[in-house]
Amino acid sequence: MKKYFYELMMDKRHGLIDKIIQAVLWILSLGYCLMVALTRLLYQKGFLSVYESPRPVVSIGNITSGGVGKTPLVIWLAKVYHERQVKVVVLSRGYGSVEGLNDETKMFQELLPQVPIVIGSNRKESIRKIFEKWPVDIFLADDAFQHWPLKRDLDIVTVDAAYPFGNGHLLPRGILREKPSALERADIFVLTKTDKVQSTQELCNQLHQINPGALVVKSRHVPRRFHNFEGHTTNLEILKGQKVLAFCAIGDPSSFEHTLQQLGLVVSKVFTFVDHHHYSEDDLQKVVNHARKENIKIIVTTHKDDVKITPFRNVFYKETVLILDIELEITQGQDELIQRVLSLRRR
C-alpha cells in the first residue's frame, strides 16, 4: 500500500512538472510570437528600412526549424542557373559557423565549386561586397523567408510533407518560426519528402486555402551513392544486408536512419547530435568505441557531417566510413519551377 501511494504521488508530481514546463513554453512562445509580429510590422510600416538588391533575389526558406530539406533545394536551383550560364551567387547566413564556415556553406563550396558563396548574416553587406567584384545575374538567399531587411523578388518555401507544421505551436513550444498564415507571402511551395507519406492532397488543400495563387511543387530526397574520404564511390546495392553503425548531426536524424533501412542496411545504432553540432574528437571516439565493441566495420554518415569531421578522420583508422550522397528530385512541377526562377533574369 505504501509503495502504491508513493508511486501515485510521483505520478502526480511528474504531471505537475509537465504542466509547469508546458506553461513556461507557452509564455516563451507567446513572447516569441509578439517579437516576430512587431519586427514584421516595423518593416512593413517603414520604421525600419528594407534593402533592394541591384539584381533579383530568390529566397529559399521555411517556417519550421530544422530538417526540411532546404539545403538540397538551394544546390538544385544553383545548378539550374549555372547550367544555363546565369551568373548566380548564393547568400548564406552561416549559422553556427567556425572561422566563417558552417556545415551547409562547406557543402555549397564542395558541390557548387563554380558558384560564389557569400557568408554573413547581413545580406545587404554580402550583396554589396560581391557585387563590387563579381558579375551577378541572380542572388540565391538561403534561409531568408524571415529576413525582413532584404527585399525578395521570389519567395520559395520548403514544406516537409511528413511533418509540415509540427505540433502547431511556435518556438520554443513547437517548431514553427511563424504561424502557417505567414505562408500567404510565399510565391512557390516545394513539398519535400513526399515519398514518406501516402498522400499530399490534404496538405496541398491546406496550402491552397492559405495561398491560392502559389505554385506547389513536389519533391523527394533520393540516395544516389556512397563515397569514402578519398572520394571513391560505392554502389548502394553493395551494402545491402550489411550491419552498419551511423552518426549524424542534422535536423531530421530519423529520416536518415529510415533511408538507410530502406536501402537494406542493418542499422545497429545511430549516434545523433544536435543540428549544426561541432564535432570533437571525443564525440567520434565514442562512435568508434561502440563500433569496435560490436565488431562493426562500416560506419555511415551524411555529407553535411562529413565536411565537419575532416580534422578527426584519423580516429577511424580501423573502420570504413561511407558518406551517403543524397540529391533532390523534383517529382511534380519541375518545368513550372524552372520557368519561374529563370523569368527573374530581367534587370
pLDDT at position 100 over 60: no
Mean pLDDT confidence for 131-146:
94
Q: How far apart are CA 277 and CA 283, in angstroms?
A: 10
SS3 call for 271: strand
> Within 10 Å of residue 204's Cβ, how many Cβ atoms?
16
What is 57-222+330-342's CATH number, 2.60.120.260, 3.40.50.300, 3.40.1110.10, 3.40.50.150?
3.40.50.300
Q: In the numeric block, which cell numbers belong to residue 46? A: 517603414
Amino acid at 230: E
Q: How far apart are CA 209 and CA 118, in angstroms?
A: 36
Residue ranges matching CATH 3.40.640.10 in the chain? 223-326
Mean pLDDT confidence for 274-291:
95
Least confident of 31-35, 165-169, 286-290, 343-347: 343-347
pLDDT at position 153 over 80: yes
Mean pLDDT confidence for 62-87:
94
pTM (2 decimals)? 0.91
- DSSP state, residue 147: -
Amino acid at 146: Q
pLDDT at position 148 over 80: yes
CATH class of 223-326: alpha beta
* pLDDT for res 106: 84
* pLDDT for res 97: 54
pLDDT tens readout for residues 154-168 = 999 999 999 999 999
Mean pLDDT confidence for 300-314:
94
SS3 call for 322: strand
- Non-local (6+) Cβ contacts of 22 within 8 A are 173
Percent of the chain residues past pLDDT 90, beyond the cut? 82
